[in-house]
A and B are shown apart, each in its own frame.
Chain A
Amino acid sequence: KAGVTQTPRYLIKTRGQQVTLSCSPISGHRSVSWYQQTPGQGLQFLFEYFSETQRNKGNFPGRFSGRQFSNSRSEMNVSTLELGDSALYLCASTPLAGAENEQFFGPGTRLTVL
């Protein structure tokens, strides 16, 4: 089985721009969660999508948004980028049911905001 894939792997943007990151979960997985990892704040939960609906949301401003498609692929969008948005963005994929305890992470997208 292929793992979680994230595209692009690296991205450089300037302040004020917007960015869209993509995550394809493991085949058959229906839940996708997003996390931001920075040296200062560590790993922080952004949001979770399940069956195209946002199920949970972390404590991030409205500039951070996401969606999930019918094939379970998910995108997250950050508008009006700030320097502090520079981070590694990770998505995690979880099976539908029965093994919801296992969460598998992708390699991440490293975003640099200049």
Chain B
Amino acid sequence: GEDVEQSLFLSVREGDSSVINCTYTDSSSTYLYWYKQEPGAGLQLLTYIFSNMDMKQDQRLTVLLNKKDKHLSLRIADTQTGDSAIYFCAERGNAGNMLTFGGGTRLMVKP
């Protein structure tokens, strides 16, 4: 089946930039998403990018997509302690709204 991979853990200092990476295998992906999950909570949609775009910026968030290498990244500028959470990337193919998720990257922000 299709696969989405993420590194498990990232630690940064407050005020630095964070970059979370993701790779996927489905060449028919239409949209790629970034979600944030805080302890005991559901998934919060942060941003998404259409597969024919290579970059999207939304305030402190920048998404880069390299479709050739099937690589997606999320950059968080000026990372704050409130950004500490688990970040999931997900891809949606061309059949309905089914999402395939990566295993999540735990971001720890040190003051």
Residues of A whose CB lies within 8 Å of any CB of B are 4, 6, 31, 33, 35, 42-45, 48, 50, 55-56, 58, 90, 92, 94, 100-108
Contact = CB atoms under 8 A, between A and B. Distances in A.
A45 to B, nearest CB: 5
B92 A90 contact: no
B42 A108 contact: yes
Contact of A56 (B30, B43, B44, B95): B95
B92 A42 contact: no
A15 B63 CA distance: 44
A42 B103 contact: yes
A4 B31 CA distance: 21
Interface of B: 30-31, 33, 35, 41-45, 48, 50, 88, 90, 92, 95-104
A101 B50 contact: yes
Given A102-B48, A105-B44, 20 more contacts: A4-B42, A44-B101, A45-B99, A45-B100, A48-B96, A50-B96, A50-B97, A56-B98, A58-B98, A90-B43, A92-B43, A101-B31, A101-B48, A101-B92, A102-B45, A103-B45, A105-B35, A105-B42, A105-B43, A108-B42
B97 A42 contact: no
Given A42-B103, A101-B92, A102-B48, A33 B97 contact: yes
Contacts of A56: 95-98
Contact of A90 (B31, B42, B100): B42
Contacts of A108: 41-42
Nearest to B44: A105
The 9 closest A-B pairs by CB, nearest first: A43-B101, A105-B43, A56-B96, A107-B42, A105-B42, A101-B31, A55-B96, A108-B42, A56-B98
Nearest to B104: A42
Contacts of A6: 42
B14 to A, nearest CB: 27
Among A35, A48, A103, A104, which residue has the most Cβ atoms of chain B within 10 A?
A: A103
